[in-house]
Structure 1
Amino acid sequence: MNDAFPSPTTPVESRAEVFLGYLDYFRDRLISKMESLDDSERRRSQLPSGWTPLELVKHLTFVELRWLEWGFEGREVEEPWGDQRAKRWYVAPDESTEDLITALNAQGARSRAIVKANDLASVGRPGPRWDGAEPATLERVLFHLLQEYARHLGHMDVVAELSGGPVGE
């Protein structure tokens, strides 16, 4: 668990480690917030948009998959939108909290390996993820992932507070 916020004054070995440190932190905080909820709170929505905490965890697993493996690496991915059914986030009743957390952590490890194996200026491979546009650099993909995680962690903060869970970081 990565509980320490990656302070801008803490030295790191590279810009890639800055991105990875924030991604690890946001991923760990999201899991911690979700684990603070009981199972019924994890599977029910507190918001008009209708998403559940478990759906958010699964969504972020697929976000990393779509941007780094399917997008940047240009790898063939069988179900890049496997977090959705009928254009909504979806978690099947038999998907457990533990399995979804394991999947998110495994995806995080794959993401870290991709970042470590490439320069931030490397351009992604052409493929369906880019929807006809020129592929982005790894740095741009990571910046996008950071904003996605930060935004969704804020959403999880609100849901945890509404459910009586911990407030703040």
Structure 2
Amino acid sequence: MTLQFPSPTVPAAGRTEVFLRYLDYFRESVVAKVSALTEDDVRRSALPSGWTPLELVKHLRYVELRWIEWGFQGRDVGDPWGDRRDDRWYVAPEETREDLLAALRAQGRHTRAVVEGSELSAIGAPGERWDGADPASLERVLFHLVQEYARHVGHLDIVAELAGGPVGE
């Protein structure tokens, strides 16, 4: 699935729709770019920092899990830091591109359902996610998710280009 960039000139029913359009667009951009790379390229790092495209996919899935389910909803998610090992992103050898992309899309469907069923002004449930601070509103969580995706899609743009994959939006 290819989504058009959510241009500011395209009318939206409200801020909720704008957030969801951007999140869907960025998520599908990640899926498209990672799907276009070779198996070697998704498991190999092209950068001094050492992360791989598959690690980025898993990280983004867990970012949504941490902020929406563990944070905003206050749900027990088992290991909210399951994308990390030894203080860096981690993908086990048996984890496949298809499974990780499916998990990212499933997390996105969950995020969409939560956002569509909530007011942007709703305050997250108290819990460990907030590190002792007052929980944030859904709107603040969504701003965070949009910036997280935008930043990481930019990183992935560079890695995909270095690998000879798709470039640009």
Instruction: Output the amino acid matched with 2:110.
Output: R
Structure 1 partner of 2:110: 110
Q: Say whether 1:65 aligns with 2:71.
A: no
Instruction: Measure how far apart 1:87 and its partner are.
Output: 1.0
Structure 1 partner of 2:30: 30
Q: Is the 8 A contact 1:2 1:24 kept in 2?
A: no
Instruction: Output the amino acid matched with 2:46.
Output: Q
Instruction: Measure how far apart 1:98 and its partner are.
Output: 0.3
1:125-144 correspondence to structure 2 within 5 Å: 125-144=125-144
Instruction: Output the amino acid matched with 1:99.
Output: D
Instruction: Output the amino acid matched with 1:59.
Output: H
Structure 1 partner of 2:79: 79
- 1:113 partner SS: helix
Q: Is the 8 A contact 1:71 1:130 kept in 2?
A: yes
1:32-51 correspondence to structure 2 within 5 Å: 32-51=32-51
Instruction: Output the amino acid matched with 1:108.
Output: G
Q: Is the 8 A contact 2:2 2:32 kept in 1?
A: no
Q: Percent identity?
A: 65
List alignment gaps of at least 5 residues for structure 1. none
Q: Under a length normalisation based on structure 2, what TM-score does the superposition of the two structures give?
A: 0.99
The whole-number CA distance in structure 1 between the counterparts of 2:88 and 2:112 is 27
1:90-101 correspondence to structure 2 within 5 Å: 90-101=90-101
Q: Under a length normalisation based on structure 1, what TM-score does the superposition of the two structures give?
A: 0.99
List alignment gaps of at least 5 residues for structure 2. none
Q: Structure 2 vs 1, CA of residues 138 and 2 (structure 1 numbering), >3 Å: closer, same or farther?
A: farther
Q: How many residues align?
A: 169
The whole-number CA distance in structure 2 between the counterparts of 1:2 and 1:120 is 27
**Deviation >3 Å, runs of 4+:** none
Instruction: Measure how far apart 1:167 and its partner are.
Output: 1.2
The whole-number CA distance in structure 2 between the counterparts of 1:102 and 1:164 is 24
Structure 2 partner of 1:152: 152
The whole-number CA distance in structure 2 between the counterparts of 1:77 and 1:100 is 17
Q: Is the 8 A contact 1:124 1:136 kept in 2?
A: yes
Instruction: Measure how far apart 1:116 and its partner are.
Output: 0.6
